[in-house]
Amino acid sequence: MKAETEKVTLNMNSMDLAYIDLLVEQGYYQNRTDFLKKAVSSQLETKETAISEAISQLKSRKTISIGVVYIDGEFSEAEIQPAEELVVVGFLMIDKRAAIAEMKQHYSKITVYGVVKASTEIKQAYQL
């Protein structure tokens, strides 16, 4: 299964862009996007230990979810406990039917390291 992608806008100086274009022209990369994807992957690989440590620190302080999290907004009485913080490393999708009042009862704060798909109202309420 192919991971969902997000569009990122990047400003860079003209000389760096010229060097990338030169490498593309010489056949090292298919295009600018190919270069940037490989550069990001390479940097993430070199920081693998730091990423693992950061996730471990988060886990020690709070409950976190890694990967894809879907909230449909239909909480049963048993699920509605005192509000807790939700931390997601990855992709958070909150159904458009989710009501802010019930969300606030269940999640006092939501922090996402990655991508959020939710209504504007939910994003504003949780400052996402």
Residue range 105-110: mean pLDDT, rounded = 87
- Quick: pLDDT tens for 1-12: 456 788 889 999
> DSSP strand E in the chain: where?
64-71, 84-94, 107-117
Distance from chain centroid for Cα 66 = 10
pLDDT of residue 83: 60
pLDDT of residue 26: 97
Q: What is the dihedral of CA 27, 33, 39, 44, to 10 degrees?
A: -150
From CA 55, how far away is CA 12, in angstroms rounded? 30
From CA 67, how far away is CA 4, in angstroms rounded? 12
Q: In the structure, what pLDDT confidence band is assigned to residue 73 with cuts at 50, 70 and 90?
A: confident
Q: State yes or no: pLDDT of 78 exceeds 60.
A: no
